[in-house]
Amino acid sequence: MISEAYGSLLPLFAILASALAIPLIIAIGERNPNLREGISVLAGLIKFGAVLVMVPTILDGRSIECRIFSILPNIELSLRVDALGVLFALGASFLWIITTFYSIGYMRGHHEKKQTRYYSCFAGALSATMGIAFSANLFTLFLFYEILTFVTYPLVAHHETPEARSGARKYALYLVGSAKLFLVLALVITYLLTGTLEFKEGGLVSHQLVEKSKGLLNVLFLMYLYGFAKAAVMPLHGWLPAAMVAPTPVSALLHAVAVVKSGVFAILRVILHIFGLETLKALEITQIALFLCAFTITIGSIIALTRDNIKARLAYSTVSQLSYILLGGLLLTYNGVLGGIVHITNHAFAKITLFFCAGSLYVCAHRTQVSELDGIAKKLPLTMAAFTIGALAMIGMPLLNGFVSKWYLLIGSADAGNSLALSVLLLSSLLNGGYFLPIIYRAYFKDLPVSMGHHHDNHHEIKENPFMAVTLLITAIFSILSGIFPQPIILLAQEVLR
Q: What does DSSP assign to residue 255?
A: I
Q: What is the mean pLDDT of residues 177-183?
A: 90
How does pLDDT run across 216-242, given as a tens digit for each residue?
A: 999 999 999 999 999 989 998 988 888
H or E element: which one contains 67?
Answer: strand 64-72
Contact in structure between 457 and 366 (CB atoms under 8 Å): yes
Residue 374 vs residue 164, higher pLDDT? 374
First vs last C-alpha separation in the chain: 21
pTM score, whole prediction:
0.91
Domain ranges within the chain, ordered by starting residue:
284-498
Q: Is the pLDDT of residue 255 over 70?
A: no
User: CB atoms < 10 A from the CB of 457, how many?
Assistant: 7
How does pLDDT run across 21-65, given as a tens digit for each residue?
A: 999 999 988 888 889 888 888 999 999 999 999 999 998 888 898
Residue 195: burial class (beta carbons within 10 Å; 0-12, 13-18, 19+): exposed
Q: What does the alpha-carbon distance between residue 276 and residue 399 come to, in Å, rounded to a whole number?
A: 33
H or E element: which one contains 161?
Answer: none
Q: What does the alpha-carbon distance between residue 295 and residue 21 come to, in Å, rounded to a whole number?
A: 42
Nearest 10 degrees: Cα torsion 14, 265, 339, 217: 140
- Give the pLDDT confidence score for residue 2 in this predicted structure: 41
- Give the pLDDT confidence score for residue 460 in this predicted structure: 58
| Of 272, 268, 261, the residue nearest 232 (C-alpha) | 261
Distances (CA, A) of 493 to 126, 138, 161, 340, 345: 22, 21, 42, 9, 10
How does pLDDT run across 423-464, given as a tens digit for each residue?
A: 999 999 999 999 999 999 999 999 888 665 444 444 457 888
